[in-house]
Amino acid sequence: MSIDQQADLLLGHGRRVLVGMSGGVDSSVTAYLLKQQGWDVVGVTMKVWPQDCISRAEDKCCGPQAIADARGVAHALQVPHYVVDEAADFERIVIDYFASEYRAGRTPNPCVMCNEKLKFGNLWDKARALGAEYIATGHYAIIEHTASGALLRKGRDLRKDQSYFLFSLSQAQLSRALTPLGAMTKDQIRGIARELGLKVADKADSQEICFVPGNDYKAFLKSHLGEKEFHPGGIYNTEGKYLGPHEGIEMYTIGQRKGLPGGSPQPLYVVDIDPESSRVVVGFEADLIREEFEVDRVNWLCSLPKEGKELTVKIRYAHAGTLAWVQPLENGSALIRLNEPQRAVTPGQAAVFYDGDRVEGGGWICRKLVPVAA
């Protein structure tokens, strides 16, 4: 389907779109492009910081400066702008999830949760209240609208592609979502912002989790949970030998090398985290290699044959992707058999499945018990 045909299909449903404006260059140019295309644009910025992190969120997408920047861009573009207070739900849905995953020995992905539950979840109520039938964001991904549904594809700028973070969206969410930057590069987007004279044209991209200052998640957990809520225990090797104590399983993730006991002839890595016994199991790099793993809570965006299919699987956002056989299982899970074994397949992270540039689905990596000698 051509771009013009897609436009006709979309505009036939309604011309008002709610644009999530974070105060950055991407969402700002998103609002501009949609207005140029004839959409009735309404800008909305979510206030998501809890009160205890306002002072350290000045430079974050959840900070006061972000709201001021978004409001300034909306004024320059002559579009209405609203601020919606999502702090309570952000705390409950995203931050509490983030902390609880570490307490369960898993490594969370809060951006996926925020997209699914808030940006393309809670904002729908606001969109409907404003008479908007679509939500648009500055994600680098392509949502292709067809008469039979929506397809999610990688963005053109593969260095910035964010389709991984959108895998958990439902067909209902995708069918009412717009991502006009998907076919563009970052340089093009900054160029448009400069031509418009937008103050955010050269604003630096956020490289961190928006609510974690300095990307120090350990310090954040200590502040958010309190050290008394941690699960201290022992560090053991794969032979069951006790190597020393640790202050909490929350401080560890699969593949971690720092903060482990010394004295080994080879570097040690975290290879398993057992939340039931509060054990952190360490081993050598070879112990991190996996040939297969399971995922649960799979979200299928395209139908997959019962006998499975070979797809490209990304086991984390920065992973290049690798060919694997994806076998659907019962209870919303799937077995992933990797063509080439991969290092540090991490429980709690998302594994996203691609057929070429199209997202077929994805799920959450389950823990695989590392055998430990008695």
pLDDT per residue as tens digits for the range 289-304: 999 999 999 999 998 8
Domain segments of the chain as ranges:
3-214, 230-283, 288-365
End-to-end Cα, the chain, rounded Å = 60
- Other C-beta atoms lying within 10 Å of the C-beta of residue 350: 25
- Is 254:308 a contact under the CB 8 Å cutoff? no
Q: Amino acid identity, residue 348?
A: G
User: Is 2.30.30.280 the CATH classification of the domain at 230-283?
Assistant: yes
- Is 335:349 a contact under the CB 8 Å cutoff? no
d(CA 369, CA 327): 20
For domain 288-365, the CATH class is mainly beta
Give catalytic residues, as residue numbers.
114, 210
Q: What are the tokens at 189?
A: 């987007």
pLDDT tens for each residue of the chain, 374 residues long: 444 444 454 554 458 999 999 999 999 999 999 999 999 999 999 988 755 554 444 555 556 788 999 999 999 999 999 999 999 999 999 999 999 999 999 999 999 999 999 999 999 989 999 999 999 999 999 999 998 899 999 999 999 999 999 999 999 999 999 999 999 999 999 999 999 999 999 988 876 788 887 788 999 998 888 888 899 999 999 999 999 999 999 999 999 999 898 888 899 999 999 999 999 999 999 999 999 999 999 999 998 888 899 999 999 999 999 999 999 999 999 999 999 999 999 999 999 999 999 999 999 999 976 555 54
d(CA 29, CA 41): 12
Give tens-digit pLDDT for 236-272. 999 999 999 999 999 999 999 998 988 888 999 999 9
- The predicted model scores a pTM of 0.91
Q: How many residues are present in the chain?
A: 374
Farthest-apart Cα atoms in the chain, separation: 69
- Is 143:179 a contact under the CB 8 Å cutoff? yes
Burial of 301 (0-12, 13-18, 19+ CB in 10 A): buried
Fold for 3-214, please state it: Rossmann fold (3.40.50)
Strand partners, 313: 322, 353
Place of tokens 């739900």: 89
